[in-house]
Structure 1
Amino acid sequence: MSILSRFSDIISSNINAVIDRMEDPEKMIDQYLRNMMDDLAEVKRSTAGIMAEEARAKREVDQNEAQVNKYAELTKKALEAGNDDDARIFLSKKQETENVGSGLATSYASAHENAMKMRQMHDKLANDIEVLKNRRAMIKGKMSVAKTQETLNTVTDSISKTKGAMGSFQRMEDKANRKLDEANAMNELNSAPIDEAKKLEEKYASQTSAAVEDELERMKKDMGLSSTKEEPTDSDEQ
């Protein structure tokens, strides 16, 4: 059977070494697992037929041995009865049966060996599948962490770029402020010089005017004059 022809490869394979050689374990491990599951299913299907063949071969061997023992007993009885010719016939039949038994024993040995191989392959595949499943979970977990880390690295890089952009904006704002300060300073320098004397003259002139008005009010009050113009009465109109 095809599965038996792969016995040596399956038994000698090292599942961990196979995984380590995979270029992309996360993707390839699933396909490899599917292949192993297919092999295990084929082993199970084939094992039933091989075990049936083993049982049939064993039954034929047992029947042959029973025949040999029967002719051996008949040979003894013929000798005890003094019938050498009958004994020779039984003995000849016994030898023929033993010759057939040699072939049956060979067939049984092959069937038994095949059944043992099938059981070995079954156990090996079942164990490798468990190892593969465990390694797959571990690998996928690591890949998930790696992808998360890559995302964080991308976010961190974006934040760094944003900080760099903000720094650029800050430098541009500082430059604009500096330009504005320089422009204001230049405008101040270009303005006409302030006449300090004129400013003082205006200040004291306004103060003098206020003092005159105050004095005028006091004089009117001393003279009994109203500080406001009186409204004409009805008699004055007449």
Structure 2
Amino acid sequence: MGLFERLSRLFRANLNAAISAAEDPEKVLDQALLDMQEDQVQLRQAVAQAMATQKRVEQQYNQNFALAEEWYRKAQLAVQKGDEELAKQALSRRKGYGDTSTALKTQLDQQSVQLENLRRQMTALEGKIAEAKTKKDMLKARLRAAKATEQVNQALGKVGTSSAMAAFEQMEDRVLTQEAKAQATVELSGDSLEEQFKLLEGTSDVDAELLAMKAQMGMLPPPAANPQPLPESLKQGELEQS
């Protein structure tokens, strides 16, 4: 293989690849259907022309066949009248029209076969066009769905699903940790308050005993204008001294 041929093949391959990449599938489908419909129009015109031609040939055949029959009757009449020369001329005319009608009959038969083939092709093309219309709509829908799926996948790839989910999990852990801290604070606050009340309840007896001891040692301050009642423990101490 020569260098020029290899370069030519490489150029054609690159050109075809570039054209394929630039093709819009939807536009290609629409154009393909338009081409088929144009072929259908041309085929219909060909069928119509073939039918018109066949009609003209059929008329010419009928005319020549009728003239051949008429000149045959004239030849018979000339024979009956005893004019053989006139009968020969009539038969000669009859032969000319007969040969023409025979040729036209052969042409008519050939055209009938061609017309039938054209009709079958037109019917087949109409079926293909109907099928192509259905396939075009279906392929367009599939193509759009594929493009949408591709765009979604590309968007997910750009976002980075794994990193996004990791961020959500991290934030969830932080929320759980914060909630645990808040619950612990509530529990600690409740325990502290209860402990304070327990301390108050536990020191009341100690205070009363301290007052009683001061009373015994004569260290109590003078009573106020409105003396407050002494605790029961203090009263019991005074009774014991008396």
TM-score range relative to shorter protein: 0.5 to 0.7
Instruction: Answer whether contact 2:71 2:91 (CA < 8 A) is retained.
Output: yes
Instruction: Answer whether contact 1:57 1:111 (CA < 8 A) is retained.
Output: no
- 1:126 paired residue number: 126
- 1:81 paired residue number: 81
Cα distance, 1:25–1:110 mapped onto 2, change above 3 Å: farther
- 1:43-58 matches, within 5 Å, as 43-58=43-58
Deviations 1:9-67 (A, max 9, x none): xxxxxxxxxxxxxx986553322111001111122233332221111111000001001
Q: What is the Cα deviation at residue 127 of structure 1?
A: 0.7
Cα distance, 1:60–1:217 mapped onto 2, change above 3 Å: farther
TM-score normalised per structure 1: 0.56
Which whole-Å CA distance do the structure 1 matches of 2:24 and 2:75 have between them?
73
Question: What amino acid sits opposite 2:123 in the alignment?
Answer: D
Deviations 1:110-154 (A, max 9, x none): 433343233222211111101111222222233344344445545
TM-score normalised per structure 2: 0.56
- 1:64 paired residue number: 64
Cα distance, 1:109–1:24 mapped onto 2, change above 3 Å: farther
Q: What is the Cα deviation at residue 226 of structure 1?
A: 6.8
Give the fraction of aligned pairs with identical amino acids, expressed as a percent. 21
The structure 2 residue matched to 1:220, chosen from 198, 219, 222, is 222
Q: What is the Cα deviation at residue 92 of structure 1?
A: 1.1
Question: What amino acid sits opposite 1:163 in the alignment?
Answer: M
- 2:100 paired residue number: 100
Higher relative contact order (CA 8 A, sep 6+): 1
- 1:163 paired residue number: 165
Question: What amino acid sits opposite 2:125 in the alignment?
Answer: L
Which stretches in structure 1 are left out of the alignment for 5+ residues? 1-22, 178-206, 228-238
Cα distance, 1:105–1:116 mapped onto 2, change above 3 Å: same
Matched length: 172
Q: CA RMSD in A?
A: 4.0
Question: What amino acid sits opposite 1:53 in the alignment?
Answer: T
